[in-house]
Amino acid sequence: MKLILQENVEKLGVRGAVVDVAAGYARNYLLPRKMAVEATRGNLKGLEKMRASLAKREATEREAAQNLAGQLASVTVKIARTAGENGQLFGSVTSADIAEALAAQGFTIDKRRIQLADPVKIVGEFPIAVKLHHDITATIQLTVAKEA
């Protein structure tokens, strides 16, 4: 099924691209989330107009992401959790916990943008990548401390 992407989709394409995907993927995922529209004759004619508006929106989003990346460069997130004697946490620190701590500092960042390979399960300091735009990534410092 041919679709025109409305948003950047990881491992599929960028906004404005015409892609060929499985009908189930289109019907069950891309179309309901308004990430794509069908590549009909009318939509293909409007594609150039759409690309111009997408380019303008892309430029404003990139500028906002660069400003946010500059602000996040100096941010340190401190999270206290109960831990054993050897520094092993009773539980873990997830991307949702980091997003919540960032929100407390005034930064609204979706937890899906926080690039955490595995939940943090030990006490210490960790650099955490935050993907703000498809080519702009900021790094914040996470400090996990033992709760007193």
Which residue ranges make up each domain of the chain? Answer: 2-45, 70-146
pLDDT for the residue 135: 84
pTM: 0.71
Tell me the one-letter amino acid at 91.
G
pLDDT in tens, 60-70: 989 999 999 99
Q: Which two tokens stand for residue 95?
A: 């991307």
Q: Are 38 and 102 in contact (CB under 8 A)?
A: no
Q: Are 136 and 71 in contact (CB under 8 A)?
A: no
pLDDT in tens, 43-81: 888 887 877 887 888 889 899 999 999 999 889 999 999
70-146 to CATH, choices 3.20.20.140, 3.40.710.10, 3.40.50.300, 3.10.430.100: 3.10.430.100
**What span, in angstroms and rounded, lies between the C-alpha atoms of 97 and 93?**
6
CATH topology of domain 2-45: Ribosomal Protein L9; domain 1 (3.40.5)
pLDDT for the residue 22: 94
